[in-house]
Structure 1
C-alpha cells in the first residue's frame, strides 16, 4: 500500500492511498482543519466524496481507527471462535479466483481444505447453508467454519 502526497497551494495537502486492485482513498486536509475523504475505483474514474469532517471529528475518527478506544486481536479476516480449534471466518472472493463460476460441489472446498461453507453473502443477500449446486461469483463473501489450519488452507486456495 502506497501513499502519495501533493501540496495544494492555498488549500492544504492531498493524500492518495492505494488500496487493492486500482482502488484509492483520497484525503484532502484543508489549512482550516477540514477533511474531505473520497474514493476512486480506477485512475480514470472521478472520485466520489464519502465524507467531510471537521478537525475535531477527524481527530476523533483517527483515534478510533488507530485503536485508541478498542484493540482487536490482529487478524487478516474477521473471526469468531467456538473453541480453541474451531473458527468461523469471512473471506471475499476476488478475481481471478479459480472458485468463481464453480459450484460448492465442483470446488470441493471441504475435500481440499477441510472447511464447511455456512453461508455466502452476495451484496445485500445472504444464502444460509447453500446447497452443493450454489455457484460462486466475484465479490461473494464466504462464511466458513473449520480449524485454523483449514481456514489457512482456504486462504491459500483463494489467493491462487
Structure 2
C-alpha cells in the first residue's frame, strides 16, 4: 500500500491512498481540522466527494477504524502508531503472569523496560491513569506506550501471546 502526501498551501494536506487496482482514496485534512474524503477510480480520474467530517468526529471515526473501540477479529496484536517509533499497544494479563498481584510501583516496568502503562481495562472499567499503587490483576488489559523494541520486551515479561 502506497500513500502519497502533498501540501495544500493555505488549506492543509492531501493524502492519496492506493487501493486495489488503480483506485485511490483521497483525504484532505484542512488546517481547521475538517476532513474531506474523496474516491478516484484511477490516478488520472476526477475525484468524487464521498463525505466531509469535522475534526472531532473525524478523530472518533479514525479510532473506530483502527480498532481502538472494538476488535471484530481476535488478532495477535493491537497497536496504534503515535510516531515512527512510538506505539500504543494493548496486552492481556494471563492468570499465570508474574505481574499478577504486583502494584505498578513494585513492578517498576517503566524503569526496567521503558514502557509506560497509561491505562488498565478491568471488568468493563478503565483506570486511567493508573497510579503506582494500582495492582495488576489477572484478566486486565494493559494499555502500554513505548517503542517497538520495549513493547516486545514487555510482551516477553508477560509470557507468550499476550497482546490483544
Q: TM-score, normalised by structure 2?
A: 0.51
Question: Helix, strand or coil for the counterpart of 1:94?
Answer: coil
d(CA) in 2 for partners of 1:118 and 1:92? 14
d(CA) in 1 for partners of 2:77 and 2:112? 20
Match of 1:92 in 2: 92
Match of 1:122 in 2: 122
Per-residue Cα deviation, 1:7-34 (whole angstroms, up to 9, x for no partner): xxxxxxxxxxxxxxxxxxxxxxxxxxxx
Give the gaps of 5 or more residues in structure 1. 1-74
Offset of residue 124 of structure 1: 0.4
Match of 1:61 in 2: none
Q: How many residues align?
A: 86
Q: Report matched runs for 1:53-68 at 5 Å.
A: none
d(CA) in 2 for partners of 1:147 and 1:76? 18
d(CA) in 1 for partners of 2:82 and 2:98? 29
Match of 1:82 in 2: 82
Question: Helix, strand or coil for the counterpart of 1:118?
Answer: strand
Q: Report matched runs for 1:10-159 at 5 Å.
A: 76-159=76-159
Question: Helix, strand or coil for the counterpart of 2:99?
Answer: coil
d(CA) in 2 for partners of 1:158 and 1:94? 8
d(CA) in 1 for partners of 2:135 and 2:108? 12
Report the RMSD for the aligned CA atoms in angstroms.
1.2
Question: Helix, strand or coil for the counterpart of 1:138?
Answer: coil
Question: Helix, strand or coil for the counterpart of 1:120?
Answer: strand
